[in-house]
Amino acid sequence: MRVVLAEDLFLLRDGLVRLLQAHDFEIAAAVATGPELARALAELRPDVALVDVRLPPTHTDEGLQCALRARRERPGLPVLVLSQHVEQLYARELLADGAGGVGYLLKDRVFDAAQFVDAVRRVAAGGTAMDPQVIQQLLARRTGPDRPLSRLTPRELEVLELMAQGRSNTAIATQLVVTERAIAKHTSNIFAKLGLEVSDDDNRRVLAVLAHLDRDR
């Protein structure tokens, strides 16, 4: 699997290269700036792009904007962005086209190698990997007494949070130490209570849930 990596901090970039190579990823390019990233994405056509949100020369959202432009030119290009802080706007921009193959992680997640590599693979396969802290902030905005999420049980909220991160029923069942059948029942209840269409497509249901959590009421 070919990766284009963009990170301006040398030590972190070098560490990511070594980590990915140790898990059988091929590093097509490892760059430090927005212009270098734009060229690499256009010329190398990687299987997945791993991009720091803030890159030179602007140090604002240069990396994110390069990735979004590349997705417009090559629809479905898998992109996993890394950020130092939770910025819900970045998550919204990534999800705006309604397609899969997107992820948003805080840089702290890089230090959990298994979790990080799982997220890269999930995004490369067309799935979604959203940082738990992003999901928790979205949930916090929607759990007041007059909000739809107040209809969910504590267990359903747990399942919803894991579902919104991009996890399958099997993965959720493993983490919560219950049967996959129990998770299927919980997800059906969640979709019914939120007025969402039930879907067996992991990515479509993640996008539906995130859209529901993020919309203003």
Tell me the C-alpha distance between 7 and 2, whole Å: 16
- Dig out the tokens for 117 from the structure: 């590599």
CA 87 to mean position of chain CA atoms: 13
Residues paired with 154 in a beta bridge:
none
> Which residues lie closer than 8 Å to 215 by C-beta, 6 or more apart?
none
pLDDT band, very low/low/confident/very high, at 42 (cuts 50, 70, 90): very high
Tell me the C-alpha distance between 75 and 69, whole Å: 10
Residues 106-138 pLDDT 10s: 998 888 899 899 999 999 999 888 888 878 877
For range 75-94, the mean pLDDT? 85
Domains and CATH numbers, the chain: 2-130 (3.40.50.2300), 135-214 (3.40.50.2300)
* Pairing label, strands 79-83, 102-106: parallel
pLDDT value, residue 217: 45
Which of 77, 109, 116, 69 shows the shortest CA–CA distance to 93?
69
- Mean per-residue pLDDT over the chain, rounded: 88
CA 186 to mean position of chain CA atoms: 22
